[in-house]
Chains A and B, each alone.
Chain A
Amino acid sequence: MSIFLSKKEERILNGEEGEILQKCYRLLVQLGEAFGADRLIPIKSVHLSGISYQSIGDSGLEFLEEISHQVKFKVRTTLNPCGMDLRQWRAVGIDESFAEKQFRILRALKTMGAVMTLTCTPYYLAPPKYGDHLSWAESSAVCYVNSVLGARTNREGALSALASAIAGVTPNFGAHKEEGRKPELLVKVKAKLKSVSDYSALGFIVGTQAGNRIPFFKGLKAGAEEMKAIAASLATAGSIPMFHVEGLTPEWKKQKIVGLEKLEIDLRDIHRIYDEFEGGEGEAVFIGCPHLSVKELHELCLKKPKMKTFVCAARGLSPSLFRCLRRSGFIVLHDMCPVVSPLSKKYSKLVVDSFKAAHYLGERGVLKKREELVE
């Protein structure tokens, strides 16, 4: 197994363009060799995960600060949510010491040239095009852009995406190639799904059973928001870079489904997973895992919260809708995700409408359908 490298890439690998670039190339080349890549390919953008101080801790912070003055990102590099809203962190009770370390992480990333999107749905701000090669971390965004937009990215780790941001390339394997996008499991959906939370449930069930196999859904009606919900829980429960939906996703026609192992999901399966995540009553509500779209914000604007309700979406997505939500009594937060924030620890029970959020909140998470959370 060996990966083809240009003369320039070999020079970089030999350390002629600095130690950090060398390390990044070493990581990407080793990954490429392990996974059978033929070469490194240029990428259009990078999306980084591991932005919250709560997630990466002091070792991550120190590492980012150390490299920040020595290299710049070569391609557009967006960021996942961090641990707090950059403007309202005091108001929601984030303490000074956390904020100080969070700001240090963000300063280091900004110094390297990051676009400070701080959202898990960067595709709402600048959607990748069909066929674009990317190096994205954030498993839900990976699964969404591969499946729904037809862009091409592996489910990068936070560190391999960082290496790609610095190097501008990624090893060509997996979801970058046609054979890495083929379905390996046929999923027949025999349940009529209504709530966006039902789609989240479906993704969680299939993700658990599919493991690391790409599913092909039959009999599924879903809009973009519902597919986002599937993407998020599928990638949480499993190690899955994408899915296909008959009649809906851009690459479904290319796929062969004859002879694939079959999985049937009916309404009982959906009810069962809700029961598993049932956790009684909560102290506050969080809607926005993944961050909401303009359409979802709009729908929510027509409702009122029943209790203290946090809503998360990318800053700048729609200031007028954010104002509308605040007038209705919602607490709108940007730049962050409660799951990676000390905010969620202030509540012994937080009600969510997403199986991804419920999974990461663990015993503090209570799952309910979105429709039950508002009136």
Chain B
Amino acid sequence: MSAKIYVRVISPGRARGEALVSRQPINFYSGINPKTGVVVERNHELEGECIKNKILVFPYGSGSTVGSYVIYALKKNAVAPLAMVNEKTDVVVAAGCIFALIPCVDGIKVSKFRSGEKIFVDADNGFIVKE
């Protein structure tokens, strides 16, 4: 187990899982199917990937403010990520995560992660551990 990486807490909670990393921002409204959790945005680097039960790592959310509802719908439809990790969380993603009770932290470069890595996110105490 590697060292704790300290991060800022956006939405509390804890989660352990496999990272899914995007270097591009994510527009939840146009980019993710809320029923399946699959990334549908054309030419997005995660196009075709499913975010269900992943630790979703991306720089920040972009585009529509309806993204908050999409995050809530993902949770209701049981296809939400286990946690989100951002470089700088935006209000749309933050509100969606807080409301849907999805742990979310920020303040760390996306380039520190690779898809498939096992990560523990402790958004109660503000740290991440790579396992």
How far is it, in angstroms, between the C-alpha of A237 and the C-alpha of B64 when the chains are bound? 9
Q: Is B63 an interface residue (CB 8 A)?
A: yes
Q: Which of A84-92, A95-103, A153-161, A264-272 contacts B (4 or more CB under 8 A)?
A: A153-161
Shortest CB distance A125–B (Å) = 19
Is the CB–CB distance between B42 and A154 below 8 Å? no
Give chain A residues whose Cβ lies under 8 Å from the Cβ of B64.
49, 139, 236, 360
With A49-B64, A139-B64, A236-B62 known, 7 other A-B pairs at CB within 8 A are A59-B69, A155-B65, A157-B92, A158-B65, A158-B67, A212-B88, A236-B63
Give the dominant DSSP class at B's interface.
mixed
A residues engaging B (CB < 8 A)? 26-27, 30-31, 34-35, 49-50, 55-57, 59-60, 63, 137-139, 142, 154-161, 163, 174, 211-212, 235-239, 359-360, 362-363
The distance from the CB of B82 to the nearest CB of chain A, in whole angstroms, is 19
Docked Cα-Cα span, A94 to B95, in Å, equals 31
Task: Evaluate contact between B66 and A239: CB separation under 8 angstroms.
Answer: no
Whether A160 lies near B63 (C-beta < 8 A) is no
**Chain A residues with CB under 8 A of B95:** 27, 31, 156-160, 163
Closest to A136 in B: B65
B37 cross-chain contacts in A, Cβ below 8 A: none
Given contacts A30-B11, A56-B66, contact A239 B73 (CB under 8 A): no
* Contact of A239 with B60 in the complex, beta carbons under 8 Å: yes
**Chain A contacts for B91, CB-based, 8 A:** 31, 35, 154-157, 160, 174
Q: Taking CB as reference atom, which chain A residue is nearest B42? A: A362
Using Cβ atoms and an 8 Å threshold, which residues of chain B touch A154? 91
Known pairs A60-B69, A174-B91, A362-B42; A211 contacts B98 (CB<8 A): no
CA distance A119 to B88 in the complex (A): 30
B interface residues (Cβ-Cβ under 8 A, vs A): 8-12, 25, 29-30, 34, 42, 59-69, 72-73, 76-77, 88-96, 98-99
In the bound assembly, the distance between CA atoms of A52 and B65 in angstroms comes to 13
Smallest beta-carbon distance A208→chain B, Å: 9
Evaluate contact between B98 and A30: CB separation under 8 angstroms.
Answer: yes
Question: Closest Cβ of chain A: how far from B62's Cβ, in Å?
Answer: 5
Q: Are the C-beta atoms of B67 and A157 separated by less than 8 Å?
A: yes
User: Which B residues touch A30, using CB under 8 A?
Assistant: 11-12, 98
**Interchain CA distance A345-B59 in the complex, whole Å:** 31
With A57-B73, A212-B90, A239-B90 given, is the CB distance from A157 to B11 under 8 Å? no
- Decide if A35 touches B65 in the complex (CB within 8 Å): no
Q: Is the CB of B42 within 8 A of A155?
A: no
Report the minimal beta-carbon distance from A5 to chain B, rounded to whole angstroms: 17
Contact partner, A60, options B8, B73, B92, Cβ 8 Å: B73
Contact A239 B94 (CB under 8 A): no
Chain A's closest residue to B106 (CB) is A34
In contact, B68 and A50 (Cβ under 8 angstroms): yes
A362 and B66 CA atoms in complex are apart in Å by 17
How near does chain A come to B93, taking the closest CB pair, in angstroms? 8
